[in-house]
Every structure is written in structure tokens, then in C-alpha cells.
Structure 1
Amino acid sequence: MLPPGCTRSDVERLLPVLRRAFRLSEACAFTLLAFIQATRPSDWTDPARDPVCHAMQTAMAQRLGLTPRALRYHEVTLERAGLLLKTTAADGSRGSFAGGTVVQGLSLAPLVERMPELLALAAEDEAERQRLLGLRRQCSAARRVLKGVLQRLLESAPQAPATTECLAFYAELPRRYDGLEASDLDALLSSLDEAVDKGLGLLEMRPESSGVPEPGFRLSVQATREDNLESCVASADGTRPAGTPADASLVAAPVGAEEGREPQARDFQRGHKPHWLETFTPRRLYAACSEDMRMYLDATKGHRALPNELDLVRAAVMILPDLGINPSAWDEATEAMGDLAAALAVIVIDARRFDPVRPIRSPGGALRSFARLALAGRLNLAGSLIGLVERNRREPE
């Protein structure tokens, strides 16, 4: 009998895992699938019965488009692999005789016995797949952060050796990560981290700004008309209930787009011309984060006292599973507002889960809502961050 909760269809879904584990050919694995499908589904979950394929060899060979000899070869291969037991009579007959006391055919009881092992292998494969996806996502995010750093370096210090070095490194980066193993992705991510560190270090060596906001930049809520207000406060499904008044810290504002900037994220907030981390310092952002987010930031920043731009992005990517946010929601957010702004949105959403008045119960829905508002030019992420930072400043230590 299969483990509790498993059915014949679960065995069928494990066929790719089984094929890799036992090094079966594609034709042999397809033959095994045919044997499985020729059994009764109830026999897989009945402790008193074994799943047995009673189909005649010639009929099964015809169904699979094989010669009887090729089918016999697959049967022997599967039997030697310990996946089935051949119990046919001397003349090759198969079936159930003597009121079911004699059962002849291809018994898949050995496969049933190996199901716990196969389920464990499937879990390992899925964990490795998720790890690879996470590494690829982090490499992609780091590459985009590096591109933004490089653009700022080309504007502020185009002749600096570090700028030339960063440009050369960027030009050599692989365009796709699909063929890279986990060790290759780890090495690539480390080199990207180092390049971003160098670039950000050079940017920090620029003369400090006066600290006076540029004309037209307002830290306060930017919407001035009632019909422009759009709350980002999420209900259980990630959307604002009808009739809910706009939250002052999460209100959206219309924007005017500027040309030649990348990506759309740079354009979704009117007046937000300074870089995000020039307005919201890493120290204040780190202090305003939840304990969970600070744990991930500590992991990404390593020995540095405060997180940099890439640390914020990587920590946001790492916390997505904890928040139940589908990776597609993150991709949607980065396309709409860019990696850093998406990371800051995740920080806001994560912190708002614990809001005593209006908590966000669906982080994934909230992030998708942020992305839609950003595309529509109605997201005031700065206002959300101001509210978060100010709330942390007022809370007793």
C-alpha cells in the first residue's frame, strides 16, 4: 500500500525522479508508465492487494509500438532495477485465478515499497530546484543593481579606473543562467557582490550633497486631489476594500514620466529625483525593518555595519518564501518599479503585517497591488517609507 495520502497518480508524477534515480531510458520509463496505468487505482491504496498489470505482452507491445522482444527487454530491466516482480505462468498467461487467490502478471509491489525513498528524492530535487531558482533570481537582481551603479559611475566618475574595471566586468557577465550549476551561480553571485561593493564604495567617495531637497521634491504625501488618492492598504486578498479611506502613509500620487531612465520604476513617483538611499538612509531603513527582515539583512551584509543597495534587494528576495509571496509577484514588482524600489516595497509590506490597526494579511496580493499602482503612476512609496521610519522613531526602545 502506498504511503498515506498518495495515489496512483502520485506515482505517475514521480516518473521523472524515478527515471533519473534508476537511470532508465526514455522508452523503458514510458513502458513502466504503461504498466502503472494498466493497473486498478484502488489496488495502490488497498493494504490487502498489490497493483498488478495483467495485460498480455503482445497487446501491451502493440499499444506501445514496440516489438515483443523489446517489451521483454524492458520488463527484465525493470525487474532487475527492483521496480516490478514478474509472476506470469510458464506459458506466459496473466490474470487472476482461483477466486483471486492466484494472481499472475507484472506486480508493482516493489515500486510501492520504494515510494518513501522516491518521495524523499523528489523533495530533494524540489529543494535543489528552488535553490537554483533563488540563486538565479539573486544573480539577476545583483546584475541589475550593478547596472544601475555603473550608470551612476559613468555620470559621476567616468574616467576612474574602478569605473572602467566595473564596465569590463559587466560586459563579461553571462547573459543567461540556465546552464549554470549551483556552485557556478554561487561564484557568480560572490563576484557580483564584490563588483557592486566596489562601485558603491566609489560612489560614496563623491562630495556630500548639501542635504537640501531638489526643487519640487516633497517628503509629504503628494496627492492633492481626492480623485488621485489610492490606498495601498491590503485586505486579506491583497486589495483595498471598497469605501476604505486612503491611508496617509500609503497614498498614491500621479506622476510625470522622464525619458531615458531605467526602468519604469524610476518614473513612478513624481519629484523623487534623489536616489532612494539618499533620502532614506540604510541606517533608518534597517532600524524600521521587522526582526525577520533584519535577520536576512544581517546575512546579506556580512561584515558591513549597514546594508547597501544590493543587500536590501537580496534580503527581499530571500524573505519572499517566508511571506508566502510567489516569485512571479516579485518579478511583476521589479518590472514595474525596479529592484531596489521593489525591495523597499517588500520591507513596507513585511513591517505592515504587524500593524495593530490595519495589518496586511496577504503580502503577495499587496505586492501585486503596489506594482499595479506603480505602473499606473499612482504609488507613493516614499510616503509609505516615511510612515514606516517615523513609526519606528516614535516607538520606545
Structure 2
Amino acid sequence: MFESGNRTWERNEKTEVAARGFTGLPVGVSRWDVLSQVKRLQRELGLTATQVAHLEFLVGYTRDQDWQSGSNPIVYLTVSATANKRSICERQVLNIERALNRAGLVCWHDSGNLRRFGHRSANGELLQAFGVNLAPLAESYKRLYCMAQELEQRACVWKQQKTTLLLHKKVLRQQLTLHPDHPAVGDAQKLLLSLPRRIEARLTITQLLQWSKQMLQLIAAFHEVRDPSSTDQIEVDPAVDSGPQDRSCRKKTSDRSEIQFRHINTNNTKQTLSNERSSERTLPVGNDLKIALTADAERALEKIKHESAVPARQHPIAHEDRSTSPPLPGLEPPSAQAVLLSSGIEHITLKQVLTCASPMLRDMIRNTSKSAGADWEAVIEAATLAAGYLGISKPAWQEANCKLGSSAAATLIVITERRSTDPATTINSYGGFVRGCLAKAKAGDLHLQKSVFGLLSKANLDE
């Protein structure tokens, strides 16, 4: 029978210990925060998209009070009912649960006959339950949080080493161009040819450091031997201040190009159009060139300054962030709708977006809503949080808001987060997916309404 598939010798004993020591989630941490850490560390934990989707399904069948001290987040849904709701077979349900148990995220609280059932009180309190216990997932929050922080720091170090390597590569190529007859040219060309064309994420930090070290050694070898004629020799006469300057007591310099030429011994360092001396000293900041204006130009300038002092009229647009600063003088502010790229958001309603959202996002929207019902502001705020745990960088999220608008950007995050739980449409990089959608919007090929209508056409969207 499939109900007795969780054998004792197949269990992870650490999860049993974690379940017995469950004291509730930390203060300020919800069940969805724990799930977001699992999604962020999916590759490091060795989980597939199907397993993460099943874990989200189990978390959705619990209540907030089940994750508090004195209770247990147990899902007492039977194996057959779980298989029917997820449209998979019962054996696959048990295989996924075993994989989650090996990862240390779930365990089982079995009855005497290994049947799964439970009862709740009138106020929703869990009185008795036998089934899948998610207490190990709650106890793993601190471990998952530390892993996420370490992964983020490691990514930051890797990015810095990549930037350093590319800089050294550029300097080494410049040295090859300037010194083609140097003895180290052969080694430098050999090293550059051995480097990959693209620095991909699979390369380790150790490999990047090794290449940077080799490049630094070659760059130092190029700097050791220099052509004396290539350096400027400057000699200063010690008797410069002893008397009037003449040809014999001026600074001796090598020949220089006439481009950006400047006299050394002059009291006037200010360039003028007529190349004449000026008694005024150059200001440290600002424009050095003063052009006389005509009477008509002066009057036009005064008129522009007077008009710019009057605050511009505000034109608020629903659910879009607009700057409150007045427009620049002499320029008409462009239409807000003309700045945004076409995305198809005008064909989508708030109710459709809420229906397409995953159970976790819907719960986040309810928590961020200031009123009784959900609104666009709550959707945008929840989408901002979701973009963070999906790994979408702040510049990419800000670019989506600027080019598509807050509502369209939030709808894009809802679609992206929903697709992340679908094994048939896996996404390797969520930031790349968002930037790809922005490129489609720039070309006029982004149609969010088609994605929303496609999700709504599915029969079992939340299963």
C-alpha cells in the first residue's frame, strides 16, 4: 500500500530530532519567509523545481497558528488526495516526500496504522494530526538564512574578482600593443589565448585569482624594461626664483604635441577664444567662457527664469510613481504615458492578477494591504519583496518600474514567480528573464495579457 511508504530505515534521523525540538518560528518570520529561502537555495540544497513546488503546496495547506510554539505544522492530507490535487501519481508523491526528508526539510508524524488524518477545533487550532510534519523546515530557517548570506557574499567576491580579471586583461593587451618586441610577449599571448571568451558563473574564485596573479606578473615584467626615449625628462633650474626668468632659467621639457598645449611660465591659465591674455583668474569650478548675450536673449532668459519659479501642475496617474519636481526651463515635460513601453497591462484587471498569483504571493499581498481588500499598492509592495527573494537585482527591478510602470512590473513578477513553480517552464535566471521581457517590450513584442490569460485557462492553477 502506498500509505505505508515512509519506512523507518529510510528516514532522516536529524529531522526527527528537529521536529521534537520545535518551538515555533522566530519573531517576525512567517512560513513564506522560510519557503523563500528554500527557493533561493534550490540548487545548493539539490532540489528540483517539482520538489520545491510540492513543498510550497504543503506549506499552503498549513495555517499561521500551526507554526507557533505549542503546535506543529502537520499536513494530514492523504497521499491519494495529494496526488489528485497535484495531478501526479501516488508513488511520485512518496518519492518527493523522501527527497525532501533527505534534504532535512520534512519528516512524518505517523499514526498506528500509518494513516493520515487530523482534526481542528472551532477556532482552527490543530487538535490531532498525523501526516507530513514541516517542523524541520521551520527549524532549518537559521541554517538556510546563513547559507543565503554566505552565498550572497560569495557572489559579491566572485563579481569583484571577475571585474579585476577583466581590468588586468585590458591592461595586458595595452602592454602588448605598446611593446610588441618585449621578451614577455609570447607568454602574454599564450595566457590570453588560454582564457575563455566569456567569464561564466561556473568558474571558481580560485581560478579567477590564479589568472589575475599570472597577469600581474606579466604586467610587472612589461614595466621593468622601458624605453628611455618614451619617458619625459624634466629638469628644474634651482635658480628660478633668484631673478628675472630668461631662456637659461626656464624649465626644460621634452617636445610635446600641440594638442592640449599649455605654456608653463605664464600668469594666465585661462583659455579664451582670441588667445589673448586676461587679467581674470580661472575659477576653480564653473564655465571658464563668458559669452555676451544680446538684449533679446537677456529678456528671454529672464522670462524663462520667471516661468520656472512657478510650480508645474501635477498630473497623477493611477498606480504609477511620478516626480514632483518642476520641469526644466524651456522644455515641455513629456507625457507620462509616452515614456512607458507597451506591455499589455491595459488589458489586465486586478482580479485577474490576484487569481494568477501563487498562494504565497496572495498571502504576502494580504499582509501588505492596508485596507480590507487587496489593491494595486499591495500587489506592487509584495512584488518588490518577491523580486528580492527570486534574486532579481535592484537595478533590474528599478528599470522594469521605469520602463513598464509599477503595475506592469508587479504583474511581470507575479507571472515570473508562478512560472518558477511549474516544472514544464523552468527559469535558470530570473534577472535574465526580466531583462529579456524588457527587451521584448522595447521591440513591442511584450504581451503580458497573453501570459495572464494562459495561466487563467489552466484548470488546476493552484495545485
Please report the TM-score for the alignment, with normalisation by the length of structure 1. 0.49
* Structure with larger Rg: 2
